[in-house]
Amino acid sequence: MHQPDVVVIGAGISGLAVCEVLHRGGLAVTVLEARTRVGGRLLSSPLDLGASWFWDGERRVRAMTDRFEIATFPQYRAGDAMIDERDGVHRYPGNPIDGQAHRFVNGAAALTNALAGELPQGVVLLDQPVIEVTDELVVLTATSRWQPQHVVIAVPPAVAVAAIRLPEALPGNLVDIAQRTPVWMSDTVKVVVTYDEPFWRSDGLAGSAISRAGPLHEIHDLCGPDGSPSALFGFARAGQPSGLTESEICAQLGRIFGPRAHAPRELQIQDWSSEQWTNPAMAAPESAQSSPGFALLGHAVYQQPQLGGRFHWSATETAPNYAGHIEGALEAAERTVNSILDFPR
């Protein structure tokens, strides 16, 4: 039985941020991660297949880019937007689709890579799905047992309820609320297409589009800071009756941005809804919610630790502010760190 001060479940940005601060503060921390990589919903390959933006006012993200010297640049938005309707494609002067957002030069996963890089080897254990946390706060994977002072669930609450047998001593309403708290973007497919050059820019287009003629319902420029690599990305909803085919996607891009868009050099489809460590319905199909309760994001039940102050929730879905964003994941991490450091030792 291993006995660190803290076991963090989940090596997304929230869990890694908790771990990094506590490790710096001298606590013995272990992170157990189900996937074979860190980052969770931050995945850059090398373009972003998960999150890509942060916004003005998200001070924790900005503080992290400053601290780790992670280069950022503004989202490209010069030019006109396109509206793809069933009655045809319309050019919309100016670009009302893209707000002023910022991107990470080396992808959003630069954040989690930087945090993981601060931790000594052996602190983050990959391929270690947690299957149970007992009433005594013993944490179990298929191959290991841990008995820490504190357990941090840095997993979206609905995924935690679906995939982990949680302590029976937790209040019933908490488990119910966790099960009904939606997981941000877990029903989303992100499609990234790369080209030899950003030809839409020379056509006076921003690369942004809104579509009701599908399959991509929203499209944006995803080029690097100087236009290279040249890329667009689009969001599609998972589980569309006709499925999501490359030929449909290329046809739609060609319709909106012209023939050159029809033949991308590379097309990547990242279906987050099929990821068992992001979408609770993959772990427990009966847990799928028909009406997502967005009001439950950042619910009061997540703000106080349970089980004598030793059981903590830390994922973006538990943050009262910026829930769903990277900033929310960092806000939740900050609250968790404060609760653990305030705990009488």
Ligand X SMILES: Cc1cc2nc3c(=O)[nH]c(=O)nc-3n(C[C@H](O)[C@H](O)[C@H](O)COP(=O)(O)OP(=O)(O)OC[C@H]3O[C@@H](n4cnc5c(N)ncnc54)[C@H](O)[C@@H]3O)c2cc1C
In the complex, least distance from residue 61 CB atom to ligand X, rounded to whole angstroms: 7
Q: Does 277 bind ligand X (CB under 6 A)?
A: yes
Task: Say how many residues touch ligand X, by CB under 6 A.
Answer: 41
What end-to-end distance do the CA atoms of the chain give, in Å?
Answer: 21
**Contact call for residue 211 and ligand X (CB under 6 A):** no
Is there binding between residue 54 and ligand X (CB under 6 A)? yes
41 interacts with ligand X by CB under 6 A: yes
Assess contact for 106 and 71: CB atoms under 8 A: yes
Binding of ligand X by 325 (CB under 6 A): yes
Q: Is 64 in the site for ligand X (CB under 6 A)?
A: no
Residue with Cβ nearer ligand X (188 or 252): 188
Is 53 an interacting residue with respect to ligand X (CB under 6 A)?
A: yes
DSSP state of 261: G
CB of 219 to ligand X, least distance (A): 13
Which residues, numbered 79-118, are part of the site for ligand X (CB under 6 A)? none
Q: C-alpha 158: how far from its chain's center?
A: 14
Nearest CB to ligand X, comparing residues 147 and 199: 147
Which residue's CB is nearer to ligand X, number 159 or number 337?
159
For the CA atoms of 316, 320, 324, 329, what is the dihedral angle to 10 degrees? -30
- Give the DSSP letter of residue 294: G
Tokens of 275: 């990821």
User: Quick check: helix, strand or coil at residue 161?
Assistant: helix
Strands 150-153 and 188-195 come out as unpaired
- H-state helical runs in 69-225: 109-117, 157-163, 172-180, 199-202
In 42-86 the beta strands, taken as DSSP E runs, fall at 54-55, 72-74, 80-85
Q: Site residues for ligand X, window 127-166 (CB under 6 A)?
A: 129-130, 154-156, 159, 163-164
Does position 298 interact with ligand X (CB under 6 A)? The reply is: no
| Contact residue for ligand X among 22, 27, 35, 109 (CB under 6 A) | 35
The residue within the footprint of ligand X, chosen from 10, 107, 148, 167 (CB under 6 A), is: 10
Of 9, 329, 238, which Cα lies nearest the Cα of 139? 9
Task: Give me the residues that bind ligand X (CB under 6 A), please.
Answer: 9-15, 32-35, 40-42, 50-54, 129-130, 154-156, 159, 163-164, 184-185, 188, 190, 272, 277-278, 315-316, 324-326, 328-329
